[in-house]
Amino acid sequence: MAIIGIVAVDRRGAIGKAGGLPWHYKVDLRFFKEQTTDHVCVMGRRTWASLSAPLPNRLNIILSHHLMLEPQASVICLRNALEILSLAPYLVSDIFIIGGASIYRTFFPAIERWIVTEVPLTVEDADTFMPAGYLDGFALTATQELADALVVKFYARMK
């Protein structure tokens, strides 16, 4: 079991615009699905709101102090990061931190690996960015090229 940050960023570190992804690459969505299926996906309230339905074949955990959800399969809402991290010893799957920016920031100390898709764009009017220095203390371990000029880089925390 590992705690993994997974994100797609443009050339300036943008990850969002107007409450959603500022691009649509089927190959990136497929890669995200392959990486996260059968695992836990942790997200904030706004990321949850941007989805049309729970991510299938994953436990969807929403971190929110205020969100009230109707009970539904594969979705839980927890109030703080400690509640989420306390589940880790009981899980046989990885925990993927999937955004947004404040959720990434909250889990920085716990993230052991990063999967970063570099999108070959500079998004005009992007309004959400990865926090500066998010890869500090991490070393590149592998690179994978996807279609559409997307490059995925894998990082591990340096010991």
- What is the model's pLDDT at position 68? 78
Q: What is the CATH class of 3-157? A: alpha beta
Question: Is the per-residue pLDDT at 67 higher than 80?
Answer: no
Give the 3-state secondary structure of residue 13. coil
Give the pLDDT band (50/70/90) at residue 159: confident
CB-based contact 122:11 (threshold 8 Å) = yes
Tell me the average pLDDT across 154-159: 95
pLDDT range class, residue 70, cuts 50, 70, 90: confident
Kindly report, residue by residue over 100-155, the tens digit of the pLDDT: 999 999 999 999 999 999 999 999 999 999 999 999 999 999 999 999 899 999 99
The predicted-structure confidence for 23-62, as pLDDT tens digits, reads as follows: 999 999 999 999 999 999 999 999 999 998 999 999 999 9
pLDDT above 90 for 9? yes
pLDDT for the residue numbered 71: 82
Q: How confident is the model at residue 66 (pLDDT cuts 50, 70, 90)?
A: confident
Residue type, 5: G
65 vs 101: which has the higher pLDDT: 101
Interval 81-96: pLDDT, tens: 999 999 999 999 999 9
Residues 6+ apart with CB under 8 A from 25: 8, 119, 146, 148, 150
The first and second tokens of residue 17, run together, are 């615009």
Query: What are the Cα distances from residue 114, in Å, to 66, 85, 117, 138, 154?
Result: 28, 17, 10, 8, 6
Domains in the chain: boundaries: 3-157
Can you spell out the DSSP letters for 131-153?
A: PTTTTTTEEEEEEEE-STT-EEE
